[in-house]
Structure 1
Amino acid sequence: MDDDKKTATVSADAVPDIAVGHQEPQNVSFWTKLVSHIWDSDQHLKSPEERALVRKLDFGILICATLGWVFTKDQRGTNGKLPLTTISADIDQGNLANAYVSGMKEDLNIQGNEYTYMQMCYTISFAIMQIPANIIALKVRPRICIVICELGWTVFTFAQAGATSSSQMYAFRFLVGLFESGFSPIIIFLLGSWYTKTELAKRVAIWHVTGFFGQATSGFLQAGIYASLDGHLGLPGWRWLYIICGCMSLPVAISVWFLLPDYPHNTKAWYITEDDRRLAMHRAAKQNKSEITGVLDLNLVKRMFGSWRWWVLCLMYIFYGNSCQSNQYFSIYLKRRVQRVTTQRYTSFANLVTMVSDFGWGFGSGMTGNRVWWIIGPLLITTLPGASILTAWPGEDAARVAAFFLVACGYVTAVTWRWANEVNSGNAEERALTISSMNGLFYATNSFLPILIFPQTTGPRFPRGFPSIIAFTVAAIALTLLADFLHKRQLRQEAAASTASELQESDPQDAVAMDTDLDKGKAGDASRLSTSSIV
């Protein structure tokens, strides 16, 4: 185990065991255990005080996270869907697509690939602020950071309602992406700082699927607005959608200010007592989560870039994220086949399918305690066959629509982020930067890839796009398996090092033998890796 990890990790003994004196978990009925296991597998084993704390966290963090995710996950793609970005953000994530097919294209005279460039402007700003956002959140309270993000997002959502040209939309979308960029990495890091391993998977799943609810709501909302407000006060329906979404996001900023609890060690939330705070720190220590120090130095950089974790997890997420692009182009396909309102309803139903399946994968991962196969399995049974059908491009509309709905089930982001938090639990700052790097590097690649493989002029068949999705999916699966192998090997080495350290204290001779065996094991691993590389 490296020295940085030893010094950064908080000892459970160092945190006052405030659970002492609390009531022991009481015997409960089989039904109560069953219901508890469905929600949290260890719910019936927690003391009343710990259960009360978790309920407070669900009330505070989840409300802020889900509302912000639904309202701030901005206008991202044709169907608004990418693995990560918030009811305002997510509603607006689908707004660009819905606005495009509901009159914006004609009103702004959008030509050629200008729609793709609008997506790219958002993506570039979103990508470049991922790492800086989490760095700022390590120094400034997350509550302040996210309120600023929400307010900025609100201002420039209103601005899009007044756009008169593609050039203005480029600028407004760049600024929307800039302010939205900090939300997701900060929330993911914050969730991982408060919740335990048995709790986190379902919370991340709940948080993430509300984004797809927002996108689905966007389609129905746009259909309703177009039917009732189009032409009202001389404004087309797509402009009213941005106005309404801007009005919806302001209450989110207010809720964040009063409800988001910051980190366990510095929270001042009105509903978190001092005992709650100490219990939260105790829980984190028991989970071997390191203390958040905010120290960003050369040692941290060396630790992060010198580890397999940053490299493999970032590459895995880049390929996984880009494998989720297919369903973004569902509405482009539908626009040429069915009426406008029908297009919005179809894409909304696709978002609802994504919401159910994404939560199902996260729920299954939480129930079984497994992460890897709840990432690989869905990709194998949904994204790969769906992208293969779209690559073949059968003549029947039913087959194509079924394929789009199939790839809509391939989102495993909730499981991926849960796993990233687990793998990087040894150092809080490394965890924050790795999470933001994964998201930032994905969006950096996604800022130009759609132009290369999904240019609007080749739609709706996109002969370069759908075959690329197959390659991305295969690469994501391979890198997930590699990360799993390296993580398990790391855990074995840390367990052996810990055993050797304990033996050193009791019998130095046994410790020397243990160190020798450990060195032989590392040499064997290195030899096998070298041989496999040659092959």
Structure 2
Amino acid sequence: MNGYPSSQVKARQGAAAKPSTGTMALKARLRSYFHTEYEPGEKALVRKIDFFILTFCCLSYFTNYALYTADVPSQLDRSNINNAYVSGMKEELHFEGNELNQIQAAFTAGYVVGQLPANLSLHYVRPRVFFPACMVVWAGLTMVTASAHDAASIAAIRFFQGVAEATTFVGTHYILGSWYTERELGKRSGIFTASGLAGTMIGGYIQAGIQSSLHMRHGLSGWRWLFIIDGLITLPIAIYGFMFFPDTPATTKAFYLTPSQKALAVSRVPPVPDRAPWSWSFFRRTLTSRFFWGFMVLWIIAGETESFSSNALLALYMKSHPTHVYTVAQLNNYPTGVPAAGIVSTLFWATLTDFLGGRRYLVGYFIGVTGVATAALVLAAEGYADADAATPLVFAAYYWAGAVYACQATFFAWANDALRYEEHMFRAIVLAGMNLGSNVINAWWTIVFYGASMAPWFTRGMWAMIAVSIALVIWTGGLSYFTARHQRMRKTELAIEVEQEKEKENLA
């Protein structure tokens, strides 16, 4: 009996037979997470808005990445430009120096100019009209790009395309925050962001296919066909949005929602004021808000941790490899591993932070560690005497760096969560401000630290990556403390306001 009295043996056996309190708590949380209790009719409502909101937003963002952009909000509109650049455009249009970066900066300038007006417009123009109309404009501009004959004309087109695309990312996050509860938001934000990353990944294969099948068809280069096909694919999605997008819970006229479902949609989100934003008091309160500056700086820093991916550094590394010459297909296809890592990381962290009760800030610490580690790996590879021997290490670093895309979904969901009890247009402006600030910095950041002429090692950029990664960890810690305290206070204030309104109604 191992020297134990029988009573102690039974006690130990009983303890072993019973699951620990921690295990039981974890199982209960998992059961609660995957089996959400809905009000009568609520599950049917969520299914409908999932279908009609996510299909349009994800298709829009997918084409925006696969056909127009390589990156998110805070990054530039460049996926098809980068793919075209390494597929013959550089040689045909005689690009020199950092002209590619200057074109990207022109897009960013337009993107920045359009940010605040675009989201403010959602107060006056129905999203069902505004979003698809912007898609039609950018589709037309993309097809016009196929006729360009020099870098300057492409830069001009991309500026106006940036204005048209300004609301794609932040406008969608505003819509998601308007319809979904805190428990639902992270997963939907993750799915939306992952659709853009899937577009980035597939964009390379699209370009490779067009290059092999349409190059010099009717006298047009493959990269010119890319822009024509991009625009044509976008138009049916815009038509779908005109017909089916549901606007916001308070303004929806969607024919597929019953009156009871429309009322239920309104009841699922906090009853906050929705005042017209064009007033001096509104802008003064916005520009003096800690939320505005706190989340803007957060996304400025986080946006630059995505520089490895958003500036297509792996493709530029391959294009300028010291010893190896890659084919056009390899230049388009090998970098797709970066957004693939981003998709996995985005969905994992978006789901995990939902499960952990909205602790979106945790991803900031993960991104900080990833940024420091991957930059250090590239700096180490640069010191190799044999460039070919260093290649696997560089590829591994860039693929791992793709995981930083997780901050897109979680940080914008974090802002939506923190502002859930604020008026709608204030939330819209904070979301737009995040993107605006990031792109203002990125307009020159990409040229200073990741210019195409700095390939293949981007040494200056690697040190900048280490710096912003450390800064992100520090800023995340401070902002998480402030937002948690404010949310507790606003919930209490809102509960008091609701009780006071009920008392007034009873007295009346």
What TM-score, normalized by structure 2, do the two folds share? 0.85
1:267 counterpart = 2:252: yes
After TM superposition, give the deviation of residue 155 of structure 1 in Å: 0.4
Q: Deviations over 1:373-393 (max 9, x none)?
A: 432242144222112222333
Aligned residue in 2 for 1:483 = 479
Cα distance in 2, alignment partners of residues 429 and 35 from structure 1: 38
1:54 pairs with 2:42: no
How many pairs were matched up? 461
What is the aligned partner in structure 1 of residue 4 from structure 2? Answer: none
Q: What SS class does the counterpart of residue 110 from structure 1 fall into? A: coil
Quick one: structure 1 residues 36 and 70, their matched pair in 2 at CA, closer, same or farther if it must change by over 3 Å? farther
**Mapped pair 1:450 → 2:446:** yes
2:330 aligned to 342, 354, 363, which one?
342
**Given residue 183 of structure 1, which amino acid in structure 2 is its aligned partner?**
T
> Are the structure 2 counterparts of residues 259 and 266 from structure 1 closer, same or farther at C-alpha, using a change threshold of 3 Å?
same
Instruction: Give the Cα separation in 2 of the matches to 1:267 and 1:498.
Output: 25
* Partners of 1:81 and 1:325 within 8 A in 2: no
Distance 1:223 1:354 in 2: 21
Cα distance change on mapping 1:427 and 1:377 into 2, 3 Å: same
Match of 1:323 among 297, 302, 305: 305
* Pairing 1:82-97 to 2, within 5 Å after superposition: 82=72, 84=74, 93-97=78-82
Task: Kindly indicate whether the alpha-carbon contact (under 8 Å) linking 2:73 and 2:170 is maintained by their aligned counterparts in 1.
Answer: no
Work out the percentage of aligned pairs sharing the same amino acid.
Answer: 29
Over 3 Å counting, the alpha-carbon distance change for 1:407 and 1:66 in structure 2 is same
Counterpart of 1:70 (choices 62, 65, 74) is 62
- C-alpha distance in 2, partners of 1:37/1:296? 45
Q: Is 1:204–1:414's contact at 8 Å kept on the other side of the alignment? A: yes
Distance 1:147 1:492 in 2: 38
Change (3 A) 1:494 1:170: closer
1:138 shift after superposition = 1.2
**What is the CA deviation profile of residues 437-467 of structure 1, one whole-angstrom value per residue up to 9, with x for unaligned ones?**
1001111111111111222222211121111
- C-alpha displacement of 1:152: 0.5
Match of 1:407 in 2: 401
- Root-mean-square deviation (CA, aligned residues, Å) is 2.6
The residue type equivalent to 1:400 in the other structure is V
1:100 maps to which residue? 85
User: Per-residue deviation at 1:115?
Assistant: 0.6
The aligned amino acid for 2:113 is I
Structure 2 counterpart of 1:192, one-letter code: G
2:194 counterpart SS class = helix
Q: Which residues of structure 2 form unaligned runs of 5+?
A: 1-26, 385-389, 501-508
**How far apart, CA to CA, are the structure 1 residues paired with 2:495 and 2:120?**
35
TM-score between both structures, scaled by the size of structure 1: 0.81
Using a 3 Å threshold, how does the CA distance of structure 1 residues 383 and 232 change in structure 2: closer, same or farther?
same
Among candidates 165, 181, 205, match of residue 196 of structure 1: 181
3-state SS in 2 of match to 1:45: coil
Please state whether the residue corresponding to 1:162 is helix, strand or coil. coil
Aligned-residue offset at 1:333 = 0.3
Quote the Cα distance in structure 2 between the aligned partners of 1:292 and 1:59. Answer: 26
Distance 2:46 2:243 in 1: 18
Q: Is the 8 A contact 1:76 1:82 kept in 2?
A: no
Provide the C-alpha distance between the structure 2 equivalents of 1:221 and 1:35, rounded to a whole number of angstroms: 45
Deviation (angstroms), 1:492: 4.7
Task: Name the CA distance, whole Å, in 2 between partners of 1:44 and 1:182.
Answer: 32
Secondary structure of 2:404's match? coil
Contact kept in structure 2, 1:53 and 1:276, CA below 8 Å: yes
Distance between the aligned counterparts of 1:232 and 1:310, measured in 2? Answer: 50
CA distance in 2, matches of 1:74, 1:93: 10
Deviation at 1:55, TM superposition (A): 0.5
- Alpha carbons 1:317, 1:476 under 8 Å: kept: no
- Distance apart, 1:303 and its partner CA: 2.5
**Shift in Å, 1:493:** 4.4
| Structural mapping, 1:51-450, within 5 Å | 51-73=43-65, 80-82=70-72, 84=74, 93-284=78-269, 288=270, 290-327=272-309, 328-337=312-321, 338-392=326-380, 393-395=382-384, 396-411=390-405, 412-425=407-420, 426-450=422-446
Which moves more between the two structures, 386-395 or 469-478?
386-395
CA distance in 2, matches of 1:336, 1:174: 28
